[in-house]
Amino acid sequence: MGRKLLLPYAIIAVLGVLIVIAVSFVGANQRDAIENPEEAGENAVVLEPEEIYKRSCANCHGGDLTDGSAPPLNDVGNRLSEDEIKDVIMNGRPDKGMPAGLANAEEASSLAEWLSEME
């Protein structure tokens, strides 16, 4: 009877050890990516501006750039330059509810270029 009681604990212990090992490998890979950003950048997937917009902006600005809770972006190219758009994407506008850092620098450049064409 004593062995049957120990079996669940043994299984949990083995699973715990396996989880620790798996997490260690993930952490090591993240450390390597931080220490060698050039190599990590080579493997990164470059998203199209439309995909970046859908992921980071569409929730507030709407799927078609006009029907969200935030200001429409369908004519943002008339109001702001590409550099100003990138600045807003990177730094946000806290006074107007626009959060900062929704895209990294490369994504922000691509998105700003695409949005600046919206006139």
| Each residue's pLDDT tens digit, 4-58 | 788 889 999 999 999 999 888 887 777 777 777 666 555 555 679 999 999 888 8
The identity of residue 72, as a single letter, is P
pTM for the predicted model, two decimal places? 0.60
- Write phi, then psi, for 117 (nearest 5 degrees): -80, -10
Distance CA 111, CA 108 (A): 5
